[in-house]
Amino acid sequence: MKIISKTIKILPLLLFVFAFTACSDDDDNDPIIVPQQLNIVETAQATPALSSLVAAIEAADGDLGTLLSGNGPFTVLAPTNDAFDAFLNGTPLAQVDTAILEQILRNHVISADVTAAGLVSLSGPDGKGYTRTNANGVGGENLSILFDTSGALPRFNNTASVVSADLADISASNGTVHVIDAVLGLPDIVDHALNNDNFTALTGALTSENLVGTLQGSGPFTVFAPTNDAFTAFGNPNSNALGDILLNHVVSGVALSTDLSSGYDNTTLATNADGDNLSLYVNVGDNVMFNGSSMAVVTDVVGTNGVVHVVDSVIDLPTIATFATSNTAALSSLVSALALADTGTPTVPWIATVSDVSAGPFTVFAPTNGAFDDLLIELDPTGNTALGDLDPATVNAVLLVHVANGNVRAGDLPMLMGTVPTLGGDLALDIDTLTLTDALMREIGIIAELTDIQAVNGVVHVVDRVIRP
């Protein structure tokens, strides 16, 4: 390997000698030609130990050679001939699919000039970080690559290391070359988890629940990946099945961090007893939170079949209480009403019941905070009555007409034939206008875009007015 390094280091001198010799036959007044630094492709061509890389670039189905001869800047992780031999495993280069070869090679190219010191500055406290390569991942996004600077030499995707210190930071006119000892494959979601030792608990759980094959499928998927520390801290208080918990971290489709918005739009692969997919509440603020308990700490780790967002805690299966407590901007008054009813002699212990994964299932018509504000004005136009001033028994009676037995989703409402039998009495249902009429002949609108918020113990439909018994 030192021969490689010495070859690279004397190339400028050789070019200078060539240039000086070429000038010696010219007029003495001709300017001296200053040797030019080689670009990345020329550097590889001039290095015998990278001849397989050069051949692969020439064989690939694309314009990578032209790209790497351009202005850049680029960082190239350059596999040695031995690395290519191990990768090909006896298969002639000519028999490798050229389009796949192009993507594999692009997975060794970073569109920035990143030295070994630069990798260290980009890494986190544990010496690890992610950047993007030129290879196309899911949705056309560039694939992510994990770099690990915690050891003596930089390591990539836990697969390839820089060969030696003198084969890092080889300077070219349009970037930097790091010579590595293995060819990097194209990582899917599972590969990204396996490559990072912060996810050994996750990969162990996926293996034990036979879910590795699922996440190696075509997808695409969005995975919220808990760290080892997250699994250590998770006590599984509801004793939910591990496989269901893991599926509650997976959403079909690609949701990059820029695609995430506050709301219940996403459903996970986890299901309730009826086979309905569970909802996931996302809150996008200063931090991105999931179901009010788990925060994204690293986002947009792109693989060939999806994207990974690293989260700091395990996302347990959601209950009705989960969705009420996590969406404080819209449903905090409902939570306060439940707690107030519990201070009296409630029909059921409200908070405990809606938090119980084994209870129900129930269908809850959940009034917004604004709906409770309107109710208080309706009860006292002076505005001097607060929610806490209401009698717990009255609040208990009000809550009963917001709850029905069974998991009645929006698509099931027509089967109720115009009547919703709640725990506090029947409500008239107009399925065409999606409104309920209570005992006082008041109309309550079911907010169409906030239906079917699916928990493990029931389903929530948000309404724009408090129902009165």
For 375-396, how does the pLDDT look when each residue is reduced to its tens digit (9 = 90+)?
999 999 999 999 999 999 999 9
* Residue 176 shares a structural domain with residue 204: no
173 shares its domain with 215? no
Q: Would residue 232 count as lying in a domain?
A: yes
Q: State the Cα–Cα distance between residues 339 and 356, nearest whole angstrom.
A: 15
Residue 366 structural domain: 327-463
| pLDDT for the residue 35 | 53
Helix (H) or strand (E) holding 269: strand 263-271
Res 36: pLDDT: 67
pLDDT of residue 5: 44
Domain final residue pick, 180, 215, 246: 180
Tracing tokens 């006292």 back to the chain, one arrives at 380
Q: Are residues 391 and 298 in the same domain?
A: no
Q: What pLDDT, on a 0 to 100 scale, did the predictor assign at position 3?
A: 39
Same domain (yes/no): 176, 28: yes
The neighbouring-strand residues paired with 454 are 459
Amino acid at 282: V
Residues 359, 437, single domain; the answer is yes
Question: Does 174 lie in the same domain as 207?
Answer: no
Q: How many domains does the chain have?
A: 3
Residues 40 and 119 in one domain: yes
Rounded CA gap, 386 and 124, in Å? 48
Indicate whether 190 belongs to any domain: no
pLDDT at 125: 81
Cα–Cα distances (Å) from 415 to 15, 423, 461, in that order, read 84, 18, 16
Residues of the chain with pLDDT under 50: 1-28, 31-34
Indicate whether 109 belongs to any domain: yes
CA distances from 385 to 228, 374, 375, 394 (A): 49, 11, 10, 14
Q: Is 46 left (phi over 0), alpha (psi -120 to 50) or beta?
A: alpha
- Residue 241 sits in the same domain as residue 267: yes
Joined together, the tokens standing for residue 73 give 């800047």
Helix axes 328-342, 392-400, angle to 10 degrees: 120
SS3 content of the chain, % helix, strand, coil (to 5): 40, 25, 35
Let me know whether 123 and 226 are in one domain. no
Instruction: Tell me, yes or no, whether 189 lies in a domain.
Output: no
pLDDT of residue 266: 86
* Same-domain pairing of 402 and 265: no
Is 191 a domain residue?
no
Please give the Cα distance from 34 to 26 (Å, whole number). Answer: 15
Write the burial class of residue 112 (CB in 10 Å: 0-12 exposed, 13-18 middle, 19+ buried): middle
